[in-house]
Chains A and B, each alone.
Chain A
Amino acid sequence: MSWMLPPSASTFAGDIDFLYYLILVITGVAFVVVEVGLIWFIIKYRSRPGRKAYYTHGSVRAEFIWTAIPAVTVVAIGILSAPVWTHVKGRFSAPADALIYRVTAKQFEWNFTHPGLDGTLDTDDDFTIRNRLHVPVNRPVLVRLVSEDVIHSFFVPAFRVKQDVVPGLNTQVWFEATRTGEFELGCAELCGLGHYRMRAMVTVHDADDYERWLASRATTTALR
């Protein structure tokens, strides 16, 4: 049981995590102030014989203060959140040099179309693998999301990305992995009875390794 986010592995994860911890601290303080206040009042002002409560209908000053403080705080959180949101999800936020992949989701599998050796999607050397995505490290990756049936959601916790995959709608999401290794990808939107098993693995290679993997992949495909 922890309030710490799991280890991250993408460029913008740090910004998201920062916001999360910031809100955690702010709400943590608010939580303590309110709950301690409540407990203190409960003890201090519990009914005792012969006492009468203090007769008041309120205080405009006090109310102004406790309206202003939360208002300023949430607006500040909003202002800090906005650029991060635009950076991650903005319509034109994906870096221009991103490697483009296509994900075709269907009950209950992810089909990843890799751009192949030439790095361009929709050319002859593209190939599609079920439930495994291979990307190079330190290189922006743009994933075009297509669904063949119902809504799924492309979720890689370590990259802090989540994007619904909606049939009939061309959604996309980008990320740039900062670590090599294997990362789990899950479906985050209820999509039917096999939803809980709609998972895949993302392998992040370093640049050379990615080339090698592509080359070996190309030969096995050619053999078929």
Chain B
Amino acid sequence: MATTAIPHEPVARTEHQELPFIRKYIFATDHKIIGIQFLIMSLLFLFVGGLLAMMIRWQLGFPETPMPGGTVLPETMAPGGILLPEFYNSLVTMHGTLMVFFAIMPLLVGVFGNYLIPLKIGAPDMAFPRLNMWSFWIAVPAGILMLAGFFVEGGHAAAGWTAYAPLSAKGEFSGVFAGQQLWLLSLAVLGLSSILGATNYITTIVNLRAPGMTWFRLPLSIWSLFITAILVLLAIPILSGAAIMLFFDQTIGTHFFDPTAGGQPLLWQHLFWYFGHPEVYILILPAMGMVSDIIANGSRKPLFGYHSMIYALIAIAFLGWIVWGHHMFQSGMNPTLGMGFMVTTMLIAVPSAIKVFNWMGTMWRGNIRFHVPMLHAVSFVAMFVIGGLSGIFMASTPVDIYIHDTYFIVAHIHYVLFGGSLFALFGAITFWYPKMFGRMMNVFWGRVHWFLTFVFFNLTFFPMHNLGVGGHMRRLYDPSEYEFLQPLAGTNRFITVSALLLFTVQIIFALNFVISLFKGKRAPENPWDDNGLEWTVPSPPPHGNFVTTPTVYRPPYEFSSPLVEEDHLPQDRDLGQKTDPASAPGTG
């Protein structure tokens, strides 16, 4: 790859006549509008996914008490407001599915991939704007298919978000027919959307970087999105293929996963996790990238070890392909294979550790501004550490014998995906909100929201480690059936109360988000004194982004540079004769 990017003609900007409403805001091809469309869609799904979680928690905390408002649910779900076990299983399945595929993944990749890539590399739009539009408008029917499953006879998919066959393959085992099929179809359709998006991101980053925007001048957010896009491109087709096979097992009797006719249940697990582990990195790498941007900005310091941060991302992306078996240690897979997967899994903790220490290194001797995005970004680091450390317990195969499929795993997932990805997303949303909407979010309520979320998040999910250590299995409708779990009922109730509060305080975020759209202070071009190219254009940026294609002179994190008086040095500022140490090769 050449180190200088190819200059290009800014095309979209030249003809600047007003587009009709429908082309501008609905079937839009502008990457910024598409990003915002994804934002609205995935925040709605985040809300729905959270609502399902509240029902799950109600059942676990107060098993015999009718759920408030539960009587609006039909008799096939919750007669008298008390959930049925089959509906509980659907809730568990759909909570995981919606959060992973329709909330976190589109928020990270769909929203910020779209919004940030062209702006941060100095391009007028994506390489294929129309493809980009399709990637959103294919995601919408996928979401509709997924929601439709709640309304069909037999209820929604209930075999877990991992859909282990044969429970997922045959309706007679679960009583679920159409629900599981819609689930599979929806994921196959969504996969198409993701693949289109990923192709676009890769092409754009490779080809449309502004002059001077070399690979090692790209911000970490772009690097991480680039690597994520490659993972998406390689991993999603595996899920789509597996989903179609399972769909055929359900509908036309192919028996890929049916042991009574020569199929293999473990084949599903191998396919699912061969996709699934890269998927969990799809769900964290962009978060790591954006947190890197925010922490450097908040600390007013160049990112500590910029290059090793990139190498760590690449290492994670590679190792991520050879660890999938750690989800299958107890599955009946050859135990010798388990040994190999233990080694690779242990190794993947190393680049994660490097990243954590480098973020700390960035804060060290900084001049830290605690704007709301920074609060979330630091929380990300603090919480991701816990998720990474709990991963080591599970990576140790003998310990995993005991904690596999317990609440310990649930705690791990949530420390990486809520404590990790979602805190990063709160950081990213509050950081780029002024650019997206031209208004500032309210700082006071932003802080209140951050604080309460941080507290209730930990009160909700930390005790789940202890449940797991006590042997509490996951996906249990009523743990009181087990004598040895009865002493844990109090913990379960405590978690439920915290979870309800955690959900409730998100209202603050929603209100702050909506009210600031209309009442927020007008955002200046560069409210956070940042160096990225997106902060050199108006908030919100016009169609086509840049009036003239910017030229890039230096790496992205030149904060507190001795060359200038102020504590930031934008990537596109031409310092003329003054030598710029950071732009010389071999630094950083």
Q: Tell me the A residues contacting B by CB distance below 8 Å.
A: 1-6, 15-16, 19-20, 23-24, 26-27, 30-31, 34-35, 37-38, 41-42, 45-48, 51-59, 62-63, 66-67, 70-71, 74-75, 77-78, 81-82, 84-86, 88-91, 107, 149-151, 153, 155, 157, 160-164, 166-169, 171, 184, 186-197, 199
- Residues on the A chain within 8 Å of B173, using CB: 107, 149-150, 192
Assess the B481–A52 pair: CB atoms within 8 A: no
Subset of 30 A-B contacts with CB under 8 Å:
A6-B470, A16-B398, A16-B399, A30-B385, A41-B368, A45-B366, A47-B369, A52-B567, A53-B301, A54-B364, A57-B304, A58-B588, A59-B304, A59-B305, A63-B308, A70-B350, A70-B353, A82-B342, A85-B342, A86-B335, A151-B164, A157-B471, A162-B330, A162-B405, A168-B265, A184-B482, A190-B475, A195-B476, A196-B481, A199-B482
**CB-CB under 8 A for A85 and B473, given A1-B463, A167-B260, A169-B266:** no
A162 to B404, Cβ gap below 8 A?
Answer: yes
Kindly list the 7 A-B residue pairs having the minimum CB-CB distance in the complex, ordered from nearest: A168-B259, A157-B471, A58-B305, A54-B365, A70-B353, A27-B389, A74-B346
Whether B305 pairs with A46 at a CB distance below 8 angstroms is no
B178 contacts A by Cβ under 8 Å: no
Contact B482 A74 (CB under 8 A): no
Q: Are B398 and A19 in contact, CB atoms less than 8 angstroms apart?
A: yes
- A155 nearest CB neighbor, chain B only: B473
Q: How far is the CA of A51 from the CA of B560 in the complex (A)?
A: 10
Residues on the A chain within 8 Å of B343, using CB: 78
A70's nearest neighbour on chain B, judged by CB, is: B353
Question: B501 near A: Cβ within 8 Å?
Answer: no
Cβ-defined partner of B301 (8 Å) among A48, A56, A67, A184: A56
Q: Is the interface of A mostly helix, strand, loop or mixed?
A: mixed
**Which of A153, A160, A168 lies at the interface centre, i.e. has the most chain B CB atoms within 10 A of its CB?**
A168
Inter-chain pairs besides A74-B347, A89-B397, 4 sampled, C-beta below 8 Å: A23-B399, A81-B397, A85-B335, A190-B89
Q: Which of A31, A45, A58 has the most CB of B within 10 A?
A: A58
Is B402 within 8 A of A5, CB to CB?
yes
Q: Mark B336-376, 1 if CB is under 8 A from A, else 0.
A: 10110011001101100110111011011111111000000
Residue pair B364, A41 in contact (C-beta under 8 Å): yes
User: Which residues of B, 314-348, contact A by the 8 Å Cβ criterion?
Assistant: 330-332, 334-336, 338-339, 342-343, 346-347
Chain A residues near B164 (CB-CB < 8 A): 150-151, 189-190
- A52-B567, A77-B392, A192-B173 are known contacts. Are A41 and B402 too (CB-CB below 8 A)? no
Q: How far is the CA of A35 from the CA of B419 in the complex (A)?
A: 14
Q: Which of A70, A166, A189, A196 is the one whose CB lies under 8 Å from B477?
A: A196
B525 on interface, CB distance cutoff 8 Å: no
Q: Which residues of B contact A89 (CB under 8 A)?
A: 335, 338, 397, 401
- A74 and B349 within 8 A (CB): yes
Choose among B159, B401, B474 the residue that contacts A88 (Cβ–Cβ < 8 A).
B401
Report whether A78 and B332 are in contact in the complex, using a CB–CB cutoff of 8 Å. no
